[in-house]
């Protein structure tokens, strides 16, 4: 995270990419040693905390290391509004991730504010939704109905953040 984060979480774009690259190199080596049982994953927190430069850099690292991508998308009304203001040239958050090279074959958490068009865009690019009912209930502004994902042919799984429990 290189912006809009607490000081003790934030790091410069170059430092973030360097540490992510080092981690991906180590995990990629572990993947090779374990016959693929360990997989590297690039996890940009979510759009408000990552600059465009960080997103593009992480995309390049993911491609270089064959890493999966996981992030949060359309988690709340306020978050979507904030992201839209940061990326005014994009019609929705999925398009912003796609423009950075991070959407294809990704797993995106939450999706409580996805429009039909955004969900169809995600399905077209092989992105899946990790629906977290309890987390969405406590922190989101809605839910991501699994039937909506199925209608759009977007893969959907049900998850639970242990940290979101009261």
Which strand (E) or helix (H) includes residue 16? Answer: helix 13-33
The mean of the pLDDT values for the chain is 89
**Do residues 127 and 120 touch, judged by C-beta distance below 8 A?**
no
Number of other residues whose CB lies within 10 A of the CB of residue 60: 14
Burial 85-96, CB ≥16 within 10 A → b, else e = ebbeebebbbbb
- DSSP-H helix ranges across 34-145: 52-65, 77-86, 93-100, 116-124, 133-139
Residue 107, pLDDT > 90, answer yes
Per-residue confidence band for 121, with pLDDT thresholds at 50, 70 and 90: very high
User: What domains are there in the chain, each with its CATH number?
Assistant: 13-164 (3.20.20.140)
β-strand pairing of 68-73 with 41-42: parallel
Per-residue confidence band for 154, with pLDDT thresholds at 50, 70 and 90: confident
- The more confidently predicted of residues 133 and 98 is 98
Give dist(CA 131, CA 9) in Å, integer: 25
Burial of 165 (0-12, 13-18, 19+ CB in 10 A): exposed
Give dist(CA 121, CA 92) in Å, integer: 10
Give dist(CA 131, CA 69) in Å, integer: 16
Tokens 């049982």, residue located? 37
Residue 150, pLDDT > 80, answer no
Distances in Å between the Cα of 101 and the Cα atoms of 7, 56, 95, 126, 132 are: 27, 7, 10, 13, 24
**Residue 162's pLDDT is what?**
59
Residue 164, pLDDT > 60, answer no
**Residue 148's pLDDT is what?**
72
**Residue 153's pLDDT is what?**
72
Question: Which of 107, 117, 121, 112 has the alpha carbon at shortest distance from 156?
Answer: 107
User: What percentage of the chain has pLDDT greater than the value 70?
Assistant: 91
């Amino acid at each position: 995270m290189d912006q809009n984060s607490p000081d003790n979480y934030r790091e410069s774009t170059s430092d973030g990419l360097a540490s992510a690259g080092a981690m991906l190199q180590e995990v990629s080596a572990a993947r090779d040693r374990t016959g693929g049982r360990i997989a590297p994953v690039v996890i940009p927190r979510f759009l408000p905390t990552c600059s465009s430069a960080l997103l593009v850099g992480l995309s390049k690292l993911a491609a270089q290391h064959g890493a999966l991508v996981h992030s949060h998308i359309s988690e709340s009304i306020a978050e979507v509004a904030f992201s839209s203001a940061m990326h005014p040239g994009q019609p929705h958050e999925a398009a912003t991730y796609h423009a950075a090279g991070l959407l294809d074959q990704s797993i995106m958490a939450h999706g409580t504010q996805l429009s039909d068009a955004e969900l169809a865009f995600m399905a077209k690019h092989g992105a899946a939704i990790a629906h977290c009912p309890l987390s969405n209930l406590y922190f989101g502004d809605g839910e991501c109905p699994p039937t909506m994902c199925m209608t759009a042919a977007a893969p959907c799984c049900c998850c639970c953040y242990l940290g979101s429990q009261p």
